[in-house]
């Protein structure tokens, strides 16, 4: 199978002896007009790819910081469709892979076929849908077939080995390895068995393994990133952008 754009970008980092860094931002936090500037800033800062969150009224994986950012975006009238339209308008100015993180209901409301076609048109690199279980993913996978858009799976710390084998076997783009039991947000401590967990995931996964959830300081980026092929940082990035702390964003990216 041809290597997907998202996997290729991460493997390029690994090939240079570096770790991938994927920041998460909430589309439309402080208004949708900020999206382009934030994407260009992150691209210039040297991130590997960018995960773009879509505001949703009933998030199940998001902690307080991202929930509040989503509420601000919803207050600005931001929807999945308006974000896709904004990304279409931005066009070729973004040269790194973009990933949309949304829940399933907005995709169903949009229409799976139309959504996938619009994502293909803007050159989207990947999709993350936390409330779409492996057993129900066939309909979306069939629509994505041949699009070049990766459906990135999540693996939790509590996933038994048999399920890890099933999830990684279908892995596209990268494996999103959740580093905590619970929702996103700042954490001071992580499980003692993370090293063994990542060692196992990397041994069975055909695509890179990235760590996410709870990673919020440069020290944690370095420590957790050392176990995986890279990291995803969400709440700390969202908070820094909201406070217009661009130096704080750069410190995380450059960790």
In total, how many domains does the chain have? 1
- Report residue 231: phi and psi, to 5°: -135, 155
Average pLDDT, 10 consecutive residues per value, the chain (255 residues): 86 96 96 96 98 90 88 96 97 95 96 97 96 92 95 91 93 91 50 82 95 91 93 95 96 94
DSSP string computed for 137-199? -HHHHHHHTTS--EE--EE-TT--HHHHHHHHHT--S-EEEE-SSS-SS--S---TTHHHHHH
Q: What pLDDT score was predicted for residue 191? A: 55
Q: Which residues contact 236 (CB under 8 A, 6 or more apart)?
A: 186, 215, 216, 217, 248, 252
Q: Which residues pair with 140 in a beta bridge?
A: none
181: containing domain: 5-253
Q: How far is CA 31 from CA 36, 38, 83, 86, 118, in A?
A: 11, 11, 11, 12, 22
Q: Strand runs (DSSP E) across 189-236, as ranges?
A: 209-212, 230-233
Contact 161/133 with Cβ under 8 angstroms? no
Q: Which helix (H) or strand (E) holds 100?
A: strand 98-101
Across the beta sheet with 175-178, what order do the strands follow? 150-151, 126-128, 98-101, 50-53, 20-26, 230-233, 209-212, 175-178, 154-155
pTM (2 d.p.) = 0.93
Residue 101 sits in a domain whose CATH number is 3.20.20.70
How many angstroms separate the CA atoms of 123 and 241, rounded?
25
Enzyme catalytic residues: 51, 62
Report the b/e string of 42-75 with b at 16+ CB within 10 A.
bbeeebbbbbbbbbbeebebbbebbbbbbebbee
């Amino acid at each position: 199978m041809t290597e997907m754009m998202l996997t290729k970008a991460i493997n390029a980092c690994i090939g240079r002896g570096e770790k991938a860094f994927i920041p998460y931002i909430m589309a439309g936090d402080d208004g949708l007009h900020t999206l382009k500037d934030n994407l260009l800033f992150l691209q210039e800062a040297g991130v590997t790819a960018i995960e773009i969150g879509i505001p949703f009224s009933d998030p199940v994986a998001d902690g307080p910081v991202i929930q509040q950012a989503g509420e601000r975006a919803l207050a600005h009238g931001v929807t999945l469709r308006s974000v896709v339209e904004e990304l279409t308008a931005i066009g070729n100015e973004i040269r790194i892979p973009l990933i949309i993180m949304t829940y399933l209901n907005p995709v169903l409301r949009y229409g799976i076929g139309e959504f996938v076609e619009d994502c293909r048109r803007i050159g989207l690199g990947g999709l993350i849908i936390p409330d779409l279980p492996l057993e129900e993913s066939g309909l979306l996978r069939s629509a994505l077939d041949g699009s070049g858009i990766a459906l990135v799976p999540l693996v939790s710390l509590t996933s038994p080995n048999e399920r890890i084998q099933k999830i990684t076997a279908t892995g596209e783009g990268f494996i999103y390895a959740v580093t905590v039991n619970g929702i996103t947000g700042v954490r001071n401590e992580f499980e003692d068995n993370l090293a063994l967990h990542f060692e196992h995931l990397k041994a069975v996964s055909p695509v890179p393994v990235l760590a996410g959830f709870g990673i919020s300081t440069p020290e944690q980026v370095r420590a957790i990133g050392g176990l995986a092929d890279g990291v995803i940082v969400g709440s700390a990035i969202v908070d820094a952008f909201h406070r217009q702390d661009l130096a704080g964003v750069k410190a995380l990216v450059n960790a």
